[in-house]
Structure 1
Amino acid sequence: MSGSWLQRDLPFLTTENCEITSPATKRYNCLAWAAGNNTQWWDPNPLYRWPSDVPREISLDAVLTVYEKLGFTVCIGGEPEEDFEKIAIFAKKVSGRTVPTHAARQLASGKWTSKLGACEDISHETFDAVNGPLYGEAICFMSRRKLAVPEAVNPPSTNG
């Protein structure tokens, strides 16, 4: 596999379980990509897009609130469910705190898609294929009913 990420950071990605689906770009990140947005970088840093009524912090509560504003609710597990789209929130423990690090979206096929920072978008067979030193592991799943007609996804009431 010829991705621009470091294998030591994502040791479970292999040529058998991962496919690069678009080139590396800094235009958007995993938080946006998991919600279906490939035009904005979502981050609480004031230089980027973030809902104005969500604390500008990288915390599990803040990230969950962003997705709740888009219609997602916490659910159990990453198994496919007809008529629902799912996302997985990844986190690591940092100084005893749970810090969100990544979000991935389940595709209609049951596979998952991730935007690896400023690196490529990939599809991967299972959500846990991106577990490892970089992102930690999936700690929460969220789902929402599939939209009948896809629409532009922007974090609501954003600044930046």
Structure 2
Amino acid sequence: MRSDRYWKKNCIAWVAEDDEIWWWPDIQHQYYWPPGICREETLEAFQEVYKMLGYEVCQGDVLEEGFQKIAIYTNSNKVPTHVARQLPTGKWTSKLGSLEDIEHNNLQRLTGNPGYGEVAYIMKKSIPV
């Protein structure tokens, strides 16, 4: 589904539920990156961003009542490439760069697609039930 009002944000912002700006840890500061988090394209930096938002590393992508989960993808060099968020239905949602927002039944649907890589970490945070 194309959402024109969301063209400004990428997958990182989509998962953080920021409707306004593109998030990326570029060293030129062209994009937003949370203050205090190292501006590096590393798994550790991405984990820190989501820890700041209340997520913690967990095991498994199965839907858990009372939690919202995210998945961080990396390429073969362990550089973050994509982030997806679990919906209350158990399906996942992704923002494909400046393109459309999609839903997928599982995390493997994006695995193997050029540019997305493999799921490196699942994180979750508590949400009101």
TM-score by length of 2: 0.90
Alpha-carbon offset, residue 108 of structure 1: 0.2
CA RMSD of aligned residues (A): 1.6
Which residue of structure 1 lines up, in the alignment, with residue 63 of structure 2?
80
Identity %: 44
Structure with the larger strand share: 1
Unaligned runs of at least 5 residues, structure 1: 1-19, 149-160
Structure with greater contact order relative to length (CA < 8 Å, sep ≥ 6): 1
Structure with the larger helix share: 2
Could you tell me which residue of structure 2 aligns to residue 111 of structure 1?
91
Larger-Rg structure:
1
User: What is the deviation of 1:134?
Assistant: 1.6
Q: Which runs of 4+ in 1 moved over 4 A?
A: none
Q: Does 1:69 find its partner at 2:52?
A: yes
TM-score norm. by structure 1 comes to: 0.74
Is this contact kept in 1: 2:85–2:92, CA < 8 A? yes
Aligned to 1:50: 33
Counterpart in the other structure of 1:98:
78
> Gaps (5+ residues) in structure 2?
none
Paired residues of 1:87 and 1:105 also in contact (CA < 8 A): yes
The count of corresponding residues between Structure 1 and Structure 2 is 126
Q: CA deviation at 1:36?
A: 1.6
Matches of 1:104 and 1:113, distance apart in 2:
6
